[in-house]
Structure 1
């Protein structure tokens, strides 16, 4: 739908995705399809994009088309990938499209519209396609694990977790629905202090709470990195949420010196974070099936010998194994990011996540398996991990 409206559907697009899905199935690969990964048609952005309340209907109409075209073969769907990126980073920091800075206003309007868009798409699948195709639908949220910098930062950290994970999880997965109460209250109080007669965080109506609540068949979870949380000092400059801090809850985000830095400036390695975040999600929302929809390691080096990435996968898969077997978290799948090097948004081609190297100087974009591809293939084939020369089976 190049224009964003269902009266024009690209035949080339249909052909491409039909061929891709059929080729995957021929290789016994079950496709997991993401409906939206930051690719809003310009015609819709010109109308306000994710800050236009009509975007939920625009998106759900698009979702209906995709379900009708591919639902006979696609059994796992993700409505939106990382709304924290196209809402919070986009409008608070401006390094993602549309690059329009509107902290605490545009970001929150986007937050609500994203929740409604996801929910309407889910309800369409539930009503019109589930009985025919029996698939599963959810949303993929990126969550940074947040931990207290010191023992006195526990309360601030829990507020930060609600702002990080709760904003995109509480409306969907909690029994109550709606925004996390602590965040809703804080933003309402801040708005009042600023002289506003209403909260900058748009409220859900009772009907909207019921519309969004329970719109999942599993939880999609993207994990890369972690941050520490501490109270901001008086008059201390606070960076933009969600990477540096939050003026809403007066906190600073930082990293521990022992966390290894990758070549991406935002990315520090803390394998234990994925296990801790999975445990928090279970504690907060119950025994929900979780599909890890993205996990991977950034590097600027094109080398085929990518030991840092191999170690990243080893360490994180070990933590996931512990989550399942010791913490009882119901993780049912894991997806590596990414199969090949790709265009990483504001980092362009300078940062690589691929299990396979791509030669971008070659018109044919030649692919070469890295050491991480060989390692990951061995894990998938053997259903086991080699951790410190000890084989862990039954993945």
Structure 2
């Protein structure tokens, strides 16, 4: 039987939200434009031609949403800063309205007994910086350092928990290799340049926070998946190892001082052309925790395309019926596999699940939403955590994606991950059955 006490008195229970997906009001109070404001301005880029408009209205309704989070008996609230609310052009001039807004969010968290956790970067690069090369130019290191320095000095008195980057493989792989996400760039050269500069910013940003914030607890959040070959043939097993390099090892190992994982993928040595003297050591930082973000399993097979990777995924719909509304496999038991994988690294002192969740179709019935499948998912995830804690893995938090249904990037408004339903026309919130369960489970 699940029991809150089994997780320990210092366990962090929270939700994660994202500035771009929740705030809305992209053109208000002198906010600058991000690559995602630009990308979503063309409705053809978004499923169902959804227009983000005011998303879930967090910019105006932050007090309401934070009070809801508090009412669910959570003890932490993770949110990201919008770079362009603070630096409209990405660098240089500061926007006082944006700075003030995040002070209000932080103060509201504290007033509602929620520990504020800041994510510095959750994918919304300033458009002006993208026009200068974005993550593909080494200048991004200086721009990001300016941003990290200002934010950590500005909010560091109130906020002690910091996450530098959210899912670097997602925003570099989807945005600079596949072109599926903003800014829509493609090609191995764009990806490797963006990836290396991102990894450098990850460590440099953490060093800046360490310098500026007394008693800071600093982490970063990596996307990860349980990867399995379709069968035990040598080619397919090798394909799974290469996919695991990209999904689970690529950003982690440089952070730990191990360099990029070229042992399984020699083709990754191409990244060395973007190195400068001292980069290998510069990539390393001793994080207080590593955040992992787990959603689905990936089953692979050998493939001639794409080059370097030589692997492709077996479409989930061809191998299982257990799918979410985005067509991804729902596989909670993979979490323990991922946790055991990360636990093998000596340099990881503490693991926090900084995101996990599931999207299903939710339907109002007499003013209520009985999202039983979502609740089953989270309960199973908690059981997997307890199983791993019993094996000695130091897991100290679980952050649910997400509090309020929001704008799910290229997928638009259709996928609903929230513990709280949002009517995007009226912005009316309705706590789902899963949210009510957490309220009872976490009751003091």
Q: Deviations over 1:132-156 (max 9, x none)?
A: x201122111112101221234343
RMSD: 1.9
Q: Deviations over 1:165-219 (max 9, x none)?
A: 111101002xx4321132562334xxxxxxxxxx256454451111121341110
Aligned match of 1:306:
371
| Matched residue SS, 2:342 | helix
Distance (whole Å) between structure 2 residues aligned to residue 184 and residue 147 of structure 1: 17
| 1:163 counterpart (246, 255, 270) | 246
Shift of 1:286: 5.1
For the 8 Å contact 1:108–1:201, the answer to whether it is kept is no
TM (normalized to structure 1)? 0.84
- Are positions 1:182 and 2:263 aligned together? yes
Distance (whole Å) between structure 2 residues aligned to residue 379 and residue 207 of structure 1: 49
Distance (whole Å) between structure 2 residues aligned to residue 208 and residue 54 of structure 1: 14
- Are positions 1:325 and 2:396 aligned together? no
Aligned match of 1:230:
301
Distance (whole Å) between structure 2 residues aligned to residue 44 and residue 338 of structure 1: 29
TM (normalized to structure 2)? 0.75
| Matched residue SS, 2:295 | coil
For the 8 Å contact 1:60–1:121, the answer to whether it is kept is yes
| Matched residue SS, 1:320 | helix
Aligned match of 1:144:
225
Distance (whole Å) between structure 1 residues aligned to residue 352 and residue 175 of structure 2: 25
Return closer, same or farther for 1:148/1:286 CA change in 2, 3 Å cut-off. farther
- Are positions 1:375 and 2:440 aligned together? no
| 1:257 counterpart (311, 319, 329) | 319
- Are positions 1:294 and 2:355 aligned together? yes
| Matched residue SS, 1:181 | coil
For the 8 Å contact 1:340–1:354, the answer to whether it is kept is yes
Aligned match of 1:390:
none
Shift of 1:92: 2.5
How many residue pairs were aligned? 351
Return closer, same or farther for 1:311/1:116 CA change in 2, 3 Å cut-off. same
Correspondence 1:1-395 to 2 at 5 A: 1-102=86-187, 104-126=188-210, 128-130=211-213, 133-152=214-233, 153-173=236-256, 176-183=257-264, 185-188=266-269, 199=270, 202-205=273-276, 207-232=278-303, 238=305, 246-254=306-314, 255=316, 257-258=319-320, 260-265=322-327, 267-285=328-346, 287-303=348-364, 304-326=369-391, 328-362=392-426, 365-381=427-443
Distance (whole Å) between structure 1 residues aligned to residue 91 and residue 183 of structure 2: 23
| Matched residue SS, 2:192 | helix
For the 8 Å contact 2:358–2:417, the answer to whether it is kept is yes
Return closer, same or farther for 1:201/1:299 CA change in 2, 3 Å cut-off. farther
Q: Deviations over 1:38-80 (max 9, x none)?
A: 1111111111111111111101110111101111111111111
Distance (whole Å) between structure 1 residues aligned to residue 265 and residue 320 of structure 2: 35
For the 8 Å contact 2:203–2:283, the answer to whether it is kept is yes
Distance (whole Å) between structure 1 residues aligned to residue 348 and residue 286 of structure 2: 15
Return closer, same or farther for 1:187/1:124 CA change in 2, 3 Å cut-off. closer
Distance (whole Å) between structure 2 residues aligned to residue 373 and residue 112 of structure 1: 39
What runs of 5+ residues in structure 2 fail to find an aligned partner?
A: 1-85
Return closer, same or farther for 1:184/1:249 CA change in 2, 3 Å cut-off. closer
Return closer, same or farther for 1:201/1:90 CA change in 2, 3 Å cut-off. farther
Distance (whole Å) between structure 2 residues aligned to residue 6 and residue 100 of structure 1: 22
Shift of 1:381: 2.5
What runs of 5+ residues in structure 1 fail to find an aligned partner?
A: 189-198, 239-245, 383-395
| Matched residue SS, 1:147 | strand
Comparing both chains, which one has the higher relative contact order based on Cα–Cα distances under 8 Å and sequence gaps of 6 or more? Answer: 2
